[in-house]
Amino acid sequence: MPEWSGLVLEVAKRRGYRVEEKGSTVIVRHPEAPLALRIAETGRGVEIRLEAEGVDDYLEDLMESSPAPRELLEQHIDDLTELALEVSRILESKGYRPVLRLREEAMDLLERLEELEES
């Protein structure tokens, strides 16, 4: 387990997220959506990446159950982005080099939702 994982665990659990450790990777799961932050040390630093698993069913359910599915999806993404930024600041203050990789997956999710809305 990497030295920095305790810092991530503390912040994530305080905010109510589920946390898993898989070897040298920490996965922080959103409590209401199949979205997560995957945090792992790479050659460039500690990478914080947004990931989505099994998201197609989730997006379809969102479309059926929410009057504002895009806003709800954006809120879930914002929740994890806010957490990623807090973790990033803490890691940086402890001498680590955080690398954020959030935008691409966020854009992909919003595009998928848009495609479902149009079909």
pTM to 2 decimal places: 0.92
Please, which pLDDT band fits residue 3 given cuts at 50, 70 and 90? Answer: confident
Please indicate whether residue 66 or residue 102 has the higher confidence score (pLDDT): 102
Q: What angle do CA 55, 57, 60 make, to 5 degrees?
A: 105
**Residue 88 CB partners (closer than 8 Å, separation 6+):** 48, 98, 100
For 47-66, the pLDDT digits (tens) are 999 999 988 899 999 999 98
Looking at the predicted structure, is the pLDDT value of residue 1 above 80?
no
